[in-house]
Chain A
Amino acid sequence: MALPATSNPAHSRVHDTIHPAADSAGGDHGEPERSFEERLAVAVSDAQLSRNLTNFQTGWRASRETAMEEIEFQTMRERMKAAKTDAIDNIEHYLDQFIRQMERAGTTVHLAPDADAACAIIARIAEEKGVRLVAKSKSMVSEEIELNHRLHEDGVEVVETDLGEWIVQLRGERPSHMVMPAIHLARQQVGDIFTKTMGREISREDVGEQVHAARDVLRDVFFNAGMGITGANALIAEAGTVMMVTNEGNGRLTSSLPPVHVILAGIEKLVPTYEDAMTQVRLLARSATAQRQTVYTTFIHGPSPGHEQHIVLVDNGRRAMRDRDEFREALHCIRCAACANVCPPYREVGGHVFGHIYTGAIGLVVTPFLHGIDAVAGPQSLCLSCNACEMVCPVEIPLPRQILDVRKMVVEQKGLKREKAVAMSVYSHPEVMKLLLKIGRHAQRPLTHGGRLVRGKHIPILNKQTRWRSLPAIAPARKRQP
């Protein structure tokens, strides 16, 4: 990665710390993404990953239950769902209202139809302002549009200031979770990467020491950056106000200290009123980090005196999603990632496999619209349709049904594997099915024992499926009347 030349010693020190690792898993810096099959193979053989995620999910579920005791979850999520339904059904109206109010407060508003346009707008602002260093707080949209990569190409250094995001940036990875980007890592792995990049010994055990070491480095970034980029948790239409929640305070620093502040947000983040935003506050932290409330909930309405503010409102497939009835409700998502926190397959393989940039159940649904069908073809196959995600979703998105609709899209566009196609074709022709069962009932005899197929014996077509388990044999007599 090329580093911009600078005569400022503070800049040099900061830049020296942010080289991504060479053995990258494929992140937002232009390296080729490994195939789904490769990522899956690595994940299932990584026992530590599963341990880390099991600990996380177990702890999260208990904490969430406690946090939810204070509110009527069902009442609250119905209220939130109603607000988001109104916002998405009338998105052009609320978008106009939001833009008018924001412009009145002095913010420059940009509309980006796709990822390239959004990146180009921000790159142009950076160029016009002579920005060489950007402080960035967490923004999933910036991951979606691969903004860091684009700015790096222009010689602009981007430093993630959310602790978890910074850790995965240092490792050259993408976030594995929308809310806790480094949850797949153990403290020893964090200590390793901090020691390597800071050039001094950092504890592998003491999380407090790791956090304070990170602060020392990030302080310089906040004070020296020419631009701060933040995301948005809600766009409050009635006032033209951006709501942003953080726990660390990095969002406030990022939106305050650099002279230019750029807000990056998907157009689906609209809510009609402040009251709707309060409902979101009640649900978001409880669903995301199992807290009552995050430490900082900030309401930004226009630039600070002497500063400049831009907002880039991104479509990138969202209007297309709104126009599909079966997927429209996915735009209600408030990005809490609760759906990942209860997902059994996610626990086994993590977000680098279960999703593509957007992870968890909602990731499987939005990915075809944001990143194309190929990006979701593999990951969607991991869903077990257990429905746990819908139970915890704070806006009641019918995720399991939508994932099946995504599966349908994948099959329609990519086709089925040969053996599945043959099986489905047989199922849909009862006479053929009956004949094959009759033949199979006799032909299977040498391969069965005690009513089950013997594991490991060669069975044409089903060899892969019978290598590691004993499938039940075909019943000796039909149970169903013709």
Chain B
Amino acid sequence: MTSSTPAFDASVSDRIAMFSQKLGSVGGVAVEVAGGTDALAAAIVERNPSGNTVVWIAHETAGRIPALLDALKRRGLEARIAASPADVRDQALGLTIARATIAETGSSLLVEPTVEGRSVSMVTETLIVLADPSELVPSLMEAAPILREVSANGASYATFVTGPSRTADIERTLAVGVQRPGVFHVLFSAALR
């Protein structure tokens, strides 16, 4: 669960708590990471599947967090840009950044214009989503204007992702990771601002 820090006002902390509870109920995990880029890198490495040394990332995401990628490299996790979906197919770890998050549902809004970038969140085994707490909105209704803005300038592809891939098509029995990811983390960090 979350640990509140002086960096966040009470309402944001409440929202993160609600987000974590909602996401937790569908098999995802959300935590708030206090501190800067190094702390965030440490939190990512902590969630890296054992023995894995590569984190896959979209080109458009990589350009936004060069310092974080350097910090990950220092900790033995090398970032690779997904040049095609085949690169990422069933790889161990993917990393992306949410455009916004929604407390009501525990959803992360991923805006992924390119297929190769999108493949990071579609076919990796473990997905880590980074989220700026200041872009955590209370409800779906506040997400509507964000979607409007996303689609205002040409083609776009946006998704609310709410936990790991799942199915209950056989006897309503839950099975997680059906098309992957099977493990889904959201890390809230003010270092993304």
Contact = CB atoms under 8 A, between A and B. Distances in A.
B103 to A, nearest CB: 12
B141 interface: yes
A208 B175 contact: yes
If over half of A's interface residues share one DSSP class (helix, strand or loop), that class is named, otherwise mixed; here it is mixed
A369 interface: no
A301 interface: yes
Given A302-B155, A304-B114, A293 B179 contact: no
A294 B148 CA distance: 21
A261 to B, nearest CB: 10
Contacts of B170: 163-164, 167, 182, 185, 187, 190, 207, 210-211
Interface stretch (B4-12, B48-56, B115-123): B115-123
A44 to B, nearest CB: 22
Contact of A305 (B113, B159, B168): B113
B179 A186 contact: no
A43 interface: no
Contacts of A212: 177
A60 B159 contact: no
B15 interface: no
B135 to A, nearest CB: 17
Interface in A166-184: 167, 180-183
Given A239-B148, A274-B147, A295-B166, A215 B159 contact: no
Nearest to A106: B155
Interface in B163-189: 163-173, 175, 177-180
Interface residues on A, range: 35 or more
A249 B26 CA distance: 15
A180 B155 contact: no
B22 to A, nearest CB: 7
B121 to A, nearest CB: 8
Interface stretch (B31-39, B61-69, B71-79, B82-90): B82-90
Given A278-B144, A293-B105, A301 B175 contact: no
Contact of A164 (B113, B119, B155, B169): B169
Interface size class of B (residues with CB under 8 A): 35 or more
B158 interface: yes
Contacts of A185: 170-171
B151 A299 contact: yes
Contacts of A296: 159-162, 165
A252 B112 CA distance: 11
A10 B53 CA distance: 29
B119 A163 contact: no
Contact of A105 (B122, B155, B172): B155
B143 interface: yes
Interface stretch (A51-59, A312-320, A413-421, A427-435): A51-59
Nearest to A304: B115
Given A182-B170, A278-B140, A295-B162, 12 more contacts: A59-B172, A218-B179, A249-B165, A256-B115, A257-B119, A273-B144, A295-B163, A299-B150, A299-B151, A301-B156, A304-B155, A306-B115
Interface of A: 52, 55-56, 59-60, 105-106, 162-164, 167, 180-183, 185-187, 190, 207-208, 210-212, 214-215, 218-219, 223, 238-241, 247-250, 252-253, 256-257, 273-275, 277-278, 281-282, 289, 291-307
Interface of B: 22, 25-26, 85-86, 89-90, 105-107, 113-115, 118-119, 122-123, 140-141, 143-145, 147-148, 150-152, 154-173, 175, 177-180
